Chain A
């Protein structure tokens, strides 16, 4: 109940962000119910209808194997969500822990944060490319690599915020009550970081889509047989003149979804605790 009220407060008067949220809910529903909604098997070849344009039977047309683009797009929504959530979890857990621990134990923190600095010196895509060339193409590896890329920014942000919270009087008070390091970090500091973490999560979710699409496009992301929006783009790029719909639909889906996630992220960011507004600004 309070969750609904809070949502109402965050999105009130923000029509664009609300539209974005609705779109994301639609994508989530498509992902969940893909097997029920999809008119065809996304992997099934049908050589008779290769490269047919959008029609009643094939809403988004078919690709060079005659696979139904609409069904593949629905399953692609699944991959988008798996990649998004997976990367968020990896980035927040790894980056969050690194940032919090670095700020709390300053000596160890110097070492960890220098490593983070080095990783951050690489452009995100380049870092992902380098890591992917070392690993096999798989869903799990893609999630881990994208997660690591965004763990760096998460670590930086949480480092600053934890440093600030560590100096709060309530932390001294908890120390005087006898609380140990773990309790201070996870019972006292972490709950105060929930809202900035949520904002961070929404942006990572969005950027992970772009990263994943770029990796797929370069042939380094998900295995080619997996129906993802990025793979759909990648496979059909040579047909751009003959079958432009093959690029149009997955491209539009990626752009709409990323844009929606950014809108939602902005709304969350503006509703955040004013103490952290500066920390989260450049995310």
Chain B
């Protein structure tokens, strides 16, 4: 499954936001740069699901939004089938939008309240010329609605007539109708009731597997990521701190931050105390020196405070950006 050349290669991706600090007097406030994504690299193979986890504000959504060009990248490249997409103009990127799709978090905000389901789903079909006549468009919409577990009759209705779970299925239909090769799912089930999260998650997983889609599954919920991913990347303050196959990362984390995240999921170790204090997250606006995680890290030493660790390949498809990764792995073994 992972032998072929990667579908997507992200190299040193940076997305910085510039804004003005609030003014203190007559003069405008100074310019500030928020490094939401600050040097992210990863590969995504055909048919692979890479989970991206990390706490709120670490830049997960920004990675997804930059790769779909909803946010302009500051630097770096993203090779889709070997071709950089970040430098493409909106017009040149449009044909690729058919292949690169996004599932949004909020099923209530992501559908235009003034358009019927049919109008919403017909839009990408028309834009990408996937059907000629009205009947063909409608047939394609029907097929896709069935695929996501909805009755084709719903297409004449408006979004407010549906529940959150149904709306998310419509959002998934909008993505699937163009037969994408890469899907970026940003917190695709986080906004849903826990009771329907599993259904929608299984639907996404089934569709992904049946069509061999590559997927970037972004979530702060490790349980959800564990269910769906082949590999997992852990982000902290705009960088990936650890990447590993799913089984390895959950059994033997090679980064202290991953460890902390795992310990914060109550159901992983049923016997022990469930809540672990994650501590105060550092801010992306003023990241600490050296390893950004050092103020919260139990293993931090002098080198951590002065030198930023780069990701190091640890073999077996895993890498970790920690000066003491070796120590962690040895200890856990």
Chain A interface residues toward B at CB < 8 A:
168-170, 172-180, 183, 187-188, 191-192, 194
Q: Which of B94, B109, B115, B123 meets A191, CB within 8 Å?
A: B115
Enumerate chain B residues within 8 angstroms of A172, measured Cβ to Cβ: 65, 70, 102, 104, 110
Do the beta carbons of A175 and B70 come within 8 Å of each other?
yes
Report A-chain residues with C-beta under 8 Å of the C-beta of B90. Answer: 180
B241 is an interface residue with CB less than 8 A from chain A: no
Select from chain A the residue with minimum beta-carbon distance to B97: A178
Once bound together, how far apart are the Cα atoms of A276 and B272, in whole Å?
A: 50
In angstroms, how far is the closest chain B Cβ from the Cβ of A204? 23
Q: Is the CB of A177 within 8 A of B112?
A: no
A-binding residues in B (CB < 8 A): 65, 68, 70, 90, 94, 97-98, 101-102, 104-106, 109-115, 123-124, 127-128, 171, 174, 178
Which of the residues A170, A176, A180, A194 comes within 8 Å of B112, measured between beta carbons?
A170
A170 to B160: give the CA distance in the assembly, Å.
14
| 20 pairs, CB–CB < 8 Å, chain A vs chain B | A169-B104, A169-B105, A169-B106, A169-B109, A172-B65, A173-B102, A173-B104, A173-B111, A174-B112, A174-B123, A176-B68, A177-B123, A177-B127, A177-B178, A178-B94, A178-B123, A178-B127, A191-B115, A192-B114, A194-B114
Contacts of B68 in A (CB 8 A): 176
Contact A170 B109 (CB under 8 A): yes
The 9 A-B residue pairs with the shortest CB-CB distance in the complex, in nearest-first order: A191-B114, A177-B124, A169-B109, A178-B127, A170-B112, A178-B97, A169-B110, A176-B102, A173-B110
Question: Among A168, A174, A176, A187, which residue has its beta carbon within 8 angstroms of that of B101?
Answer: A176
- Which residue on B lies nearest to A175, using beta carbons? B70
Q: A168 to nearest B CB, angstroms?
A: 6
| Contacting pair B109 A168 (CB below 8 A) | yes
Whether A178 lies near B124 (C-beta < 8 A) is: yes
Quote the shortest CB–CB distance from A170 to chain B (angstroms): 4
Known: A169-B104, A172-B70, A191-B115. Contact between A177 and B110, CB under 8 A? no
Shortest Cβ distance from residue A178 to the other chain B in the assembled complex, whole angstroms: 4
Contact A176 B114 (CB under 8 A): no
Q: Tell whether A176 pairs with B70 under 8 Å between CB atoms, given A169-B104, A169-B110.
A: yes
Task: Give min CB distance, A95 to chain B, whole Å.
Answer: 21
Contacts A170-B109, A170-B110 given; indicate if A177 touches B97 (C-beta within 8 A): yes
Q: How far is the CA of A170 from the CA of B105 in the complex (A)?
A: 11
Find chain A residues with CB under 8 A from B114 CB. 191-192, 194
